Structure 1
Amino acid sequence: MKLYDAAWAPSPRRVRIFLAEKGLAVERVTVDLRTGEHLRPDFVRTNPQRQLPVLVLDDDTVIDDSLGICRYFEALHPDPPLFGTTAKEIGLIESWLRRIEHDWFQAVALHFRNRSPAFADRAVSGEWPPIPQIPALIERGQCMWNAFADVLDRHLADEPYVAGDAFTMADIAAFVAADFGIATRLPDPREGRAALARWHGEIAARPSAAA
Protein backbone atom coordinates (compact mmCIF):
# COMPACT_ATOMS: atom_id res chain seq x y z
CA MET A 1 0.00 0.00 0.00
CA LYS A 2 0.98 3.64 -0.40
CA LEU A 3 -0.01 6.73 1.56
CA TYR A 4 -0.03 9.95 -0.45
CA ASP A 5 1.02 12.64 1.99
CA ALA A 6 1.71 16.39 2.14
CA ALA A 7 4.12 18.19 4.41
CA TRP A 8 2.09 21.08 5.86
CA ALA A 9 -1.58 20.31 5.27
CA PRO A 10 -3.72 19.45 8.33
CA SER A 11 -5.53 16.32 7.15
CA PRO A 12 -2.35 14.42 6.25
CA ARG A 13 -0.91 15.47 9.61
CA ARG A 14 -3.83 13.82 11.41
CA VAL A 15 -2.90 10.53 9.78
CA ARG A 16 0.81 10.92 10.52
CA ILE A 17 0.13 11.54 14.20
CA PHE A 18 -2.29 8.62 14.33
CA LEU A 19 0.24 6.26 12.73
CA ALA A 20 2.97 7.50 15.08
CA GLU A 21 0.75 6.75 18.09
CA LYS A 22 0.17 3.28 16.68
CA GLY A 23 3.85 2.75 15.91
CA LEU A 24 3.05 1.96 12.27
CA ALA A 25 5.24 2.66 9.25
CA VAL A 26 3.59 2.99 5.83
CA GLU A 27 5.23 3.72 2.49
CA ARG A 28 4.61 7.38 1.69
CA VAL A 29 4.52 9.42 -1.48
CA THR A 30 4.89 13.16 -0.85
CA VAL A 31 2.71 15.43 -2.97
CA ASP A 32 3.73 19.09 -3.23
CA LEU A 33 0.62 21.20 -2.62
CA ARG A 34 2.45 24.50 -3.03
CA THR A 35 3.27 23.74 -6.66
CA GLY A 36 -0.19 22.31 -7.36
CA GLU A 37 0.96 18.73 -7.83
CA HIS A 38 -2.41 17.54 -6.45
CA LEU A 39 -4.17 19.32 -9.34
CA ARG A 40 -2.20 17.57 -12.08
CA PRO A 41 -3.79 14.79 -14.16
CA ASP A 42 -1.62 11.99 -12.79
CA PHE A 43 -2.73 12.68 -9.21
CA VAL A 44 -6.33 13.45 -10.18
CA ARG A 45 -6.52 9.95 -11.67
CA THR A 46 -5.62 8.65 -8.20
CA ASN A 47 -8.01 10.95 -6.35
CA PRO A 48 -10.54 12.99 -8.38
CA GLN A 49 -11.25 15.02 -5.23
CA ARG A 50 -7.74 16.53 -5.53
CA GLN A 51 -7.26 16.17 -1.80
CA LEU A 52 -4.81 14.59 0.59
CA PRO A 53 -4.19 12.23 2.26
CA VAL A 54 -4.96 9.24 0.06
CA LEU A 55 -4.32 5.62 0.95
CA VAL A 56 -4.05 3.23 -2.01
CA LEU A 57 -4.30 -0.42 -0.97
CA ASP A 58 -2.56 -3.31 -2.68
CA ASP A 59 -5.77 -4.15 -4.55
CA ASP A 60 -5.95 -0.51 -5.80
CA THR A 61 -8.79 0.43 -3.45
CA VAL A 62 -8.57 4.15 -2.67
CA ILE A 63 -9.45 5.60 0.75
CA ASP A 64 -9.40 9.37 0.34
CA ASP A 65 -10.42 10.68 3.78
CA SER A 66 -8.16 11.12 6.80
CA LEU A 67 -10.61 9.65 9.30
CA GLY A 68 -11.43 6.80 6.92
CA ILE A 69 -7.72 6.01 6.66
CA CYS A 70 -7.31 6.09 10.43
CA ARG A 71 -10.32 3.84 10.93
CA TYR A 72 -8.88 1.39 8.42
CA PHE A 73 -5.67 1.11 10.42
CA GLU A 74 -7.57 1.03 13.73
CA ALA A 75 -9.43 -2.06 12.50
CA LEU A 76 -6.16 -3.75 11.57
CA HIS A 77 -4.24 -2.59 14.67
CA PRO A 78 -6.70 -1.97 17.52
CA ASP A 79 -4.04 -1.36 20.18
CA PRO A 80 -3.60 1.23 21.47
CA PRO A 81 -7.26 2.12 20.86
CA LEU A 82 -7.78 5.63 19.50
CA PHE A 83 -11.45 5.38 18.53
CA GLY A 84 -12.62 3.82 21.82
CA THR A 85 -13.47 0.29 22.85
CA THR A 86 -16.78 0.53 24.72
CA ALA A 87 -20.04 1.76 23.22
CA LYS A 88 -19.85 4.88 25.40
CA GLU A 89 -16.29 5.70 24.36
CA ILE A 90 -16.97 5.14 20.67
CA GLY A 91 -20.07 7.34 20.81
CA LEU A 92 -18.31 10.18 22.64
CA ILE A 93 -15.28 10.14 20.35
CA GLU A 94 -17.45 10.11 17.23
CA SER A 95 -19.56 12.98 18.55
CA TRP A 96 -16.52 15.10 19.31
CA LEU A 97 -14.92 14.31 15.97
CA ARG A 98 -18.02 15.60 14.20
CA ARG A 99 -18.08 18.77 16.31
CA ILE A 100 -14.40 19.42 15.72
CA GLU A 101 -14.77 18.88 11.99
CA HIS A 102 -17.93 20.98 11.59
CA ASP A 103 -17.33 23.72 14.17
CA TRP A 104 -13.55 24.19 14.35
CA PHE A 105 -11.85 22.81 11.29
CA GLN A 106 -14.58 24.26 9.11
CA ALA A 107 -13.88 27.64 10.73
CA VAL A 108 -10.26 27.43 9.60
CA ALA A 109 -11.29 26.37 6.10
CA LEU A 110 -13.75 29.26 5.73
CA HIS A 111 -11.21 31.79 6.95
CA PHE A 112 -8.25 30.45 4.98
CA ARG A 113 -9.80 29.40 1.69
CA ASN A 114 -11.80 32.61 1.29
CA ARG A 115 -8.79 34.81 2.13
CA SER A 116 -5.81 33.22 0.41
CA PRO A 117 -5.24 34.15 -3.28
CA ALA A 118 -4.06 30.57 -3.85
CA PHE A 119 -7.69 29.41 -3.53
CA ALA A 120 -9.28 31.77 -6.03
CA ASP A 121 -12.11 29.79 -7.66
CA ARG A 122 -11.31 26.91 -5.28
CA ALA A 123 -12.97 28.22 -2.13
CA VAL A 124 -14.42 24.76 -1.42
CA SER A 125 -12.15 21.76 -1.63
CA GLY A 126 -13.16 18.65 -3.49
CA GLU A 127 -14.50 17.47 -6.82
CA TRP A 128 -16.37 20.66 -7.72
CA PRO A 129 -16.60 23.14 -10.60
CA PRO A 130 -14.91 26.51 -9.87
CA ILE A 131 -16.37 28.02 -6.69
CA PRO A 132 -15.50 31.69 -6.02
CA GLN A 133 -14.30 33.08 -2.72
CA ILE A 134 -16.80 34.96 -0.52
CA PRO A 135 -14.96 37.59 1.57
CA ALA A 136 -17.74 37.74 4.20
CA LEU A 137 -16.97 34.14 5.14
CA ILE A 138 -13.54 35.18 6.41
CA GLU A 139 -15.18 36.97 9.34
CA ARG A 140 -17.64 34.11 9.86
CA GLY A 141 -14.75 31.67 10.08
CA GLN A 142 -13.05 33.76 12.75
CA CYS A 143 -16.27 34.03 14.76
CA MET A 144 -16.75 30.26 14.61
CA TRP A 145 -13.11 29.73 15.55
CA ASN A 146 -13.29 31.83 18.69
CA ALA A 147 -16.68 30.46 19.73
CA PHE A 148 -15.58 26.84 19.54
CA ALA A 149 -12.30 27.62 21.33
CA ASP A 150 -14.42 28.91 24.23
CA VAL A 151 -16.53 25.73 24.15
CA LEU A 152 -13.46 23.52 24.17
CA ASP A 153 -11.80 25.51 26.96
CA ARG A 154 -14.84 25.13 29.20
CA HIS A 155 -15.03 21.42 28.43
CA LEU A 156 -11.34 20.83 29.12
CA ALA A 157 -11.61 22.55 32.47
CA ASP A 158 -13.35 19.38 33.68
CA GLU A 159 -11.79 16.75 31.42
CA PRO A 160 -8.15 15.80 30.82
CA TYR A 161 -8.78 14.99 27.15
CA VAL A 162 -11.40 15.94 24.60
CA ALA A 163 -13.43 12.72 24.85
CA GLY A 164 -12.79 11.79 28.46
CA ASP A 165 -9.96 10.22 30.42
CA ALA A 166 -7.85 8.90 27.54
CA PHE A 167 -6.01 10.36 24.55
CA THR A 168 -7.99 9.58 21.39
CA MET A 169 -8.49 10.54 17.78
CA ALA A 170 -10.60 13.46 19.02
CA ASP A 171 -7.49 14.96 20.59
CA ILE A 172 -5.53 14.46 17.39
CA ALA A 173 -8.21 16.18 15.32
CA ALA A 174 -8.59 19.13 17.69
CA PHE A 175 -4.83 19.57 18.12
CA VAL A 176 -4.22 19.61 14.36
CA ALA A 177 -7.08 22.07 13.84
CA ALA A 178 -5.66 24.34 16.55
CA ASP A 179 -2.18 24.34 15.04
CA PHE A 180 -3.46 24.91 11.52
CA GLY A 181 -5.60 27.82 12.66
CA ILE A 182 -2.59 29.41 14.34
CA ALA A 183 -0.47 28.83 11.23
CA THR A 184 -3.06 30.53 9.02
CA ARG A 185 -3.23 33.63 11.23
CA LEU A 186 -6.34 32.99 13.26
CA PRO A 187 -6.17 34.13 16.91
CA ASP A 188 -4.13 31.79 19.10
CA PRO A 189 -6.82 29.80 20.95
CA ARG A 190 -4.49 29.23 23.92
CA GLU A 191 -4.44 32.90 24.86
CA GLY A 192 -6.76 33.58 27.77
CA ARG A 193 -7.93 29.95 27.87
CA ALA A 194 -6.02 28.14 30.59
CA ALA A 195 -7.60 24.71 30.18
CA LEU A 196 -7.16 24.67 26.42
CA ALA A 197 -3.56 25.85 26.81
CA ARG A 198 -2.85 23.09 29.34
CA TRP A 199 -4.32 20.45 27.04
CA HIS A 200 -2.50 21.75 23.95
CA GLY A 201 0.84 21.76 25.77
CA GLU A 202 0.37 18.16 26.89
CA ILE A 203 -0.54 16.99 23.37
CA ALA A 204 2.36 18.95 21.86
CA ALA A 205 4.75 17.19 24.24
CA ARG A 206 3.82 13.75 22.90
CA PRO A 207 6.43 12.42 20.45
CA SER A 208 3.72 11.84 17.83
CA ALA A 209 3.04 15.58 17.60
CA ALA A 210 6.25 15.98 15.59
CA ALA A 211 5.11 13.50 12.93
Structure 2
Amino acid sequence: MIFYDCSTAPNPRRARMFIAEKGLQIETRDISIAKGEQLSEAFRSINPRATIPVLVTDDGLTLTENLGIAAYLEALHPDPPLMGRTPAEKGQVLMWHAIVEAQGGLPIGEALRNSHPAFAHRAIPGPENYAQLPELAERGRARTKKFFDLLEARLQQSAYVALDHLTLADIAAFVFVDFARVIKMRIPESSTATHAWHDRIAERPSARL
Protein backbone atom coordinates (compact mmCIF):
# COMPACT_ATOMS: atom_id res chain seq x y z
CA MET A 1 0.00 0.00 0.00
CA ILE A 2 0.99 3.63 -0.49
CA PHE A 3 -0.30 6.45 1.70
CA TYR A 4 -0.22 9.98 0.28
CA ASP A 5 0.15 12.38 3.20
CA CYS A 6 0.69 16.09 3.88
CA SER A 7 2.45 16.85 7.15
CA THR A 8 0.82 20.27 7.59
CA ALA A 9 -2.85 19.57 6.80
CA PRO A 10 -5.57 18.28 9.16
CA ASN A 11 -7.27 15.68 6.98
CA PRO A 12 -4.11 13.70 6.21
CA ARG A 13 -3.25 13.88 9.91
CA ARG A 14 -6.52 12.12 10.72
CA ALA A 15 -5.58 9.21 8.46
CA ARG A 16 -2.01 9.26 9.76
CA MET A 17 -3.22 8.93 13.36
CA PHE A 18 -5.63 6.14 12.42
CA ILE A 19 -2.83 4.20 10.72
CA ALA A 20 -0.57 4.68 13.74
CA GLU A 21 -3.27 3.59 16.19
CA LYS A 22 -3.63 0.40 14.14
CA GLY A 23 0.12 -0.18 14.47
CA LEU A 24 0.56 -0.32 10.69
CA GLN A 25 3.65 0.52 8.67
CA ILE A 26 2.60 1.82 5.25
CA GLU A 27 4.85 3.37 2.62
CA THR A 28 4.21 7.12 2.76
CA ARG A 29 4.73 9.91 0.26
CA ASP A 30 4.41 13.51 1.40
CA ILE A 31 2.53 15.90 -0.87
CA SER A 32 3.12 19.58 -0.10
CA ILE A 33 -0.05 21.63 -0.23
CA ALA A 34 2.03 24.75 0.40
CA LYS A 35 3.87 24.09 -2.87
CA GLY A 36 0.67 23.17 -4.69
CA GLU A 37 1.86 19.61 -5.35
CA GLN A 38 -1.69 18.28 -4.99
CA LEU A 39 -2.54 20.18 -8.18
CA SER A 40 0.31 18.70 -10.19
CA GLU A 41 -0.39 16.48 -13.17
CA ALA A 42 1.47 13.63 -11.47
CA PHE A 43 -0.69 13.70 -8.35
CA ARG A 44 -3.93 14.30 -10.21
CA SER A 45 -3.25 11.13 -12.17
CA ILE A 46 -3.64 9.41 -8.78
CA ASN A 47 -6.51 11.53 -7.47
CA PRO A 48 -8.20 13.78 -10.06
CA ARG A 49 -9.98 15.62 -7.21
CA ALA A 50 -6.57 16.88 -6.02
CA THR A 51 -7.27 16.21 -2.34
CA ILE A 52 -5.25 14.47 0.36
CA PRO A 53 -5.17 11.90 1.99
CA VAL A 54 -5.09 9.07 -0.50
CA LEU A 55 -4.51 5.38 0.13
CA VAL A 56 -3.63 3.13 -2.80
CA THR A 57 -4.14 -0.49 -1.78
CA ASP A 58 -2.04 -3.48 -2.77
CA ASP A 59 -4.61 -4.45 -5.38
CA GLY A 60 -4.65 -0.98 -6.93
CA LEU A 61 -7.80 0.44 -5.34
CA THR A 62 -7.57 4.20 -4.72
CA LEU A 63 -9.33 5.53 -1.63
CA THR A 64 -9.50 9.32 -1.33
CA GLU A 65 -11.62 10.03 1.77
CA ASN A 66 -10.83 9.56 5.46
CA LEU A 67 -13.93 7.50 6.11
CA GLY A 68 -13.22 5.16 3.21
CA ILE A 69 -9.59 4.74 4.25
CA ALA A 70 -10.56 4.06 7.86
CA ALA A 71 -13.29 1.57 6.94
CA TYR A 72 -10.92 -0.33 4.66
CA LEU A 73 -8.13 -0.55 7.24
CA GLU A 74 -10.57 -1.41 10.04
CA ALA A 75 -11.92 -4.32 8.01
CA LEU A 76 -8.41 -5.60 7.33
CA HIS A 77 -7.15 -4.97 10.85
CA PRO A 78 -10.07 -5.01 13.33
CA ASP A 79 -7.85 -4.74 16.41
CA PRO A 80 -7.74 -2.39 18.13
CA PRO A 81 -11.33 -1.49 17.25
CA LEU A 82 -11.54 2.16 16.23
CA MET A 83 -14.97 2.02 14.55
CA GLY A 84 -16.92 -0.11 17.01
CA ARG A 85 -17.54 -3.84 17.29
CA THR A 86 -21.30 -4.20 17.71
CA PRO A 87 -23.99 -2.68 15.48
CA ALA A 88 -24.78 -0.15 18.21
CA GLU A 89 -21.14 0.85 18.63
CA LYS A 90 -20.57 1.17 14.88
CA GLY A 91 -23.63 3.41 14.62
CA GLN A 92 -22.46 5.62 17.47
CA VAL A 93 -18.96 6.03 16.05
CA LEU A 94 -20.20 6.98 12.59
CA MET A 95 -22.85 9.28 14.04
CA TRP A 96 -20.35 11.20 16.16
CA HIS A 97 -17.80 11.23 13.37
CA ALA A 98 -20.38 12.87 11.10
CA ILE A 99 -21.27 15.40 13.81
CA VAL A 100 -17.61 16.28 14.38
CA GLU A 101 -16.96 16.74 10.65
CA ALA A 102 -20.06 18.86 10.05
CA GLN A 103 -19.96 20.93 13.24
CA GLY A 104 -16.18 21.18 13.68
CA GLY A 105 -14.18 20.41 10.57
CA LEU A 106 -16.37 22.26 8.10
CA PRO A 107 -16.66 25.59 9.95
CA ILE A 108 -12.95 25.68 10.82
CA GLY A 109 -12.13 25.04 7.16
CA GLU A 110 -14.58 27.70 6.03
CA ALA A 111 -13.15 30.27 8.43
CA LEU A 112 -9.58 29.60 7.30
CA ARG A 113 -10.11 29.29 3.56
CA ASN A 114 -12.33 32.34 3.34
CA SER A 115 -9.99 34.64 5.25
CA HIS A 116 -6.33 33.63 4.86
CA PRO A 117 -4.42 35.24 1.96
CA ALA A 118 -2.82 31.90 1.09
CA PHE A 119 -6.26 30.63 0.03
CA ALA A 120 -7.25 33.55 -2.17
CA HIS A 121 -9.30 31.99 -5.00
CA ARG A 122 -8.82 28.59 -3.27
CA ALA A 123 -11.74 28.72 -0.84
CA ILE A 124 -12.74 25.10 -1.55
CA PRO A 125 -10.25 22.21 -1.80
CA GLY A 126 -9.96 20.52 -5.17
CA PRO A 127 -8.98 21.33 -8.74
CA GLU A 128 -11.36 24.28 -9.24
CA ASN A 129 -10.79 27.86 -8.04
CA TYR A 130 -13.43 29.54 -5.85
CA ALA A 131 -13.38 33.09 -4.52
CA GLN A 132 -13.27 33.78 -0.81
CA LEU A 133 -16.47 34.92 0.91
CA PRO A 134 -15.73 36.92 4.08
CA GLU A 135 -19.23 36.19 5.41
CA LEU A 136 -18.39 32.48 5.48
CA ALA A 137 -15.24 33.16 7.49
CA GLU A 138 -17.26 35.07 10.08
CA ARG A 139 -19.91 32.36 10.21
CA GLY A 140 -17.23 29.67 10.45
CA ARG A 141 -15.73 31.25 13.55
CA ALA A 142 -19.15 31.53 15.18
CA ARG A 143 -19.90 27.89 14.39
CA THR A 144 -16.50 26.80 15.73
CA LYS A 145 -17.37 28.38 19.06
CA LYS A 146 -20.59 26.34 19.08
CA PHE A 147 -18.54 23.23 18.26
CA PHE A 148 -16.41 23.74 21.35
CA ASP A 149 -19.62 24.03 23.40
CA LEU A 150 -21.03 20.86 21.82
CA LEU A 151 -17.82 18.94 22.49
CA GLU A 152 -17.71 20.02 26.11
CA ALA A 153 -21.33 18.99 26.68
CA ARG A 154 -20.62 15.55 25.22
CA LEU A 155 -17.37 15.04 27.13
CA GLN A 156 -19.05 15.98 30.38
CA GLN A 157 -21.10 12.81 29.81
CA SER A 158 -18.48 10.50 28.28
CA ALA A 159 -14.71 10.14 28.62
CA TYR A 160 -14.47 9.87 24.84
CA VAL A 161 -16.56 11.28 22.01
CA ALA A 162 -18.41 8.16 20.85
CA LEU A 163 -17.66 5.21 23.14
CA ASP A 164 -15.72 4.48 26.33
CA HIS A 165 -12.41 4.32 24.44
CA LEU A 166 -10.64 6.12 21.62
CA THR A 167 -12.31 5.82 18.21
CA LEU A 168 -12.28 7.42 14.79
CA ALA A 169 -14.59 10.13 16.15
CA ASP A 170 -11.99 11.15 18.76
CA ILE A 171 -9.23 11.26 16.17
CA ALA A 172 -11.26 13.61 13.98
CA ALA A 173 -12.30 15.82 16.89
CA PHE A 174 -8.76 15.99 18.28
CA VAL A 175 -7.28 17.00 14.93
CA PHE A 176 -9.94 19.67 14.36
CA VAL A 177 -9.51 21.08 17.87
CA ASP A 178 -5.76 21.36 17.29
CA PHE A 179 -6.23 22.85 13.82
CA ALA A 180 -8.54 25.56 15.16
CA ARG A 181 -5.36 27.40 16.13
CA VAL A 182 -5.09 28.57 12.50
CA ILE A 183 -8.19 30.71 13.06
CA LYS A 184 -6.90 31.73 16.50
CA MET A 185 -9.42 29.68 18.43
CA ARG A 186 -8.61 27.35 21.33
CA ILE A 187 -10.46 25.18 23.81
CA PRO A 188 -12.11 27.60 26.26
CA GLU A 189 -10.49 27.57 29.70
CA SER A 190 -13.85 26.71 31.25
CA SER A 191 -14.16 23.53 29.14
CA THR A 192 -12.51 21.27 31.72
CA ALA A 193 -13.78 17.99 30.27
CA THR A 194 -12.48 18.88 26.82
CA HIS A 195 -9.08 19.83 28.21
CA ALA A 196 -8.84 16.52 30.08
CA TRP A 197 -9.84 14.57 26.96
CA HIS A 198 -7.40 16.50 24.78
CA ASP A 199 -4.55 15.93 27.24
CA ARG A 200 -5.19 12.16 27.27
CA ILE A 201 -5.07 11.92 23.49
CA ALA A 202 -2.08 14.26 23.18
CA GLU A 203 -0.05 11.78 25.24
CA ARG A 204 -0.58 9.01 22.66
CA PRO A 205 2.29 8.39 20.19
CA SER A 206 -0.09 8.79 17.24
CA ALA A 207 -0.82 12.39 18.26
CA ARG A 208 2.84 13.33 17.90
CA LEU A 209 3.08 12.31 14.25
The answer to whether TM tops 0.5 is yes
Q: Scaled by the length of structure 1, what TM-score is found? A: 0.95
What is the one-letter code of the residue matched to 1:177? F
Asked if structure 2 preserves the Cα contact closer than 8 Å seen for 1:54 and 1:65, the reply is: yes
Number of equivalent positions: 209
8 Å contact kept, 2:187–2:194: yes
Give the AA of the match of 1:164. L
Mapped partners of 1:32, 1:122: distance in 2: 15
Quote the Cα distance in structure 1 between the aligned partners of 2:59 and 2:20. 24
Amino acid corresponding to residue 163 of structure 1 in structure 2 = A
> Is the Cα–Cα contact under 8 Å of residues 32 and 38 in structure 1 kept in the other structure?
yes
Asked whether the equivalents of residues 103 and 145 of structure 1 are also in contact (C-alpha less than 8 Å), the reply is yes
1:170 partnered with 2:192: no
Gaps of 5+ in 2: none
The residue aligned with 2:142 is 143
Q: Tell me, which stretches of 5 or more residues in structure 1 are unaligned? A: none
Match of 2:92 in 1: 92
- Paired with 1:181 and 1:114, the residues of 2 have a C-alpha distance of 14
8 Å CA contact retained: 1:96, 1:163: yes
CA distance in 2, matches of 1:191, 1:107: 21
Q: Answer whether contact 1:142 1:186 (CA < 8 A) is retained.
A: no
- Alignment-derived partner of residue 66 in structure 2: 66
- What letter corresponds to residue 102 of structure 2 in structure 1? H
Label 1:69 to 1:63 Cα distance change in 2 as closer, same or farther (>3 A): same
The one-letter amino acid of 1:172's match is I
2:197 corresponding residue in structure 1: 199
Report the Cα offset of residue 166 of structure 1: 1.4
For residues 63-93 of structure 1, the C-alpha deviation after alignment (integer angstroms, 9 at most, x for no partner) is: 0112211111100000000000011111111
For residue 45 of structure 2, give the secondary structure of its aligned residue in structure 1.
helix
2:207 corresponds to: 209
- The structural deviation recorded for 1:177 is 0.5
Q: Normalised by the size of structure 2, how large is the TM-score?
A: 0.96
Contact 1:56–1:62 (Cα < 8 Å) also in 2: yes
Deviation at 1:190, TM superposition (A): 4.0
- Paired AA for residue 84 in structure 2: G
For residues 58 and 88 of structure 2, what CA distance do their matches in structure 1 show? 34
Match of 1:114 in 2: 114
Q: Offset of 1:191 from its aligned partner?
A: 2.4
3-state DSSP class of the match of 1:84? Answer: coil
CA distance in 2 between partners of 1:47 and 1:143 (Å): 33
Is the contact made by 2:108 and 2:183 (CA closer than 8 Å) also made in structure 1? no
RMSD of aligned Cα (Å): 1.1
CA contact (8 A) 1:93 1:169 kept: yes
Deviates more, 1:58-67 or 1:197-206: 58-67
Structure 2 residue 178 is the aligned partner of structure 1 residue 189: no
Percent of residue pairs bearing the same amino acid type:
43
Match for 2:132: what amino acid?
Answer: Q
> Which residue pairs with 2:7 in the alignment?
7
Task: Give per-residue Cα distances to partners, 1:86-110, cap 9 Å, x unaligned.
Answer: 1111111111010111110001111
CA distance in 2 between partners of 1:147 and 1:179 (Å): 16
Matched, 1:133 2:132: yes
Determine if contact 2:141/2:183 at 8 Å carries over to the other structure: no
Quick check: 2:52–2:64 contact (8 Å CA) kept in 1? yes
Distance, in Å, in 1 between the alignment partners of 2:205 and 2:5 is 19
| Deviation per residue, 1:147-188 (Å, 9 max, x gap) | 011011011112100012111111000000001112x03321
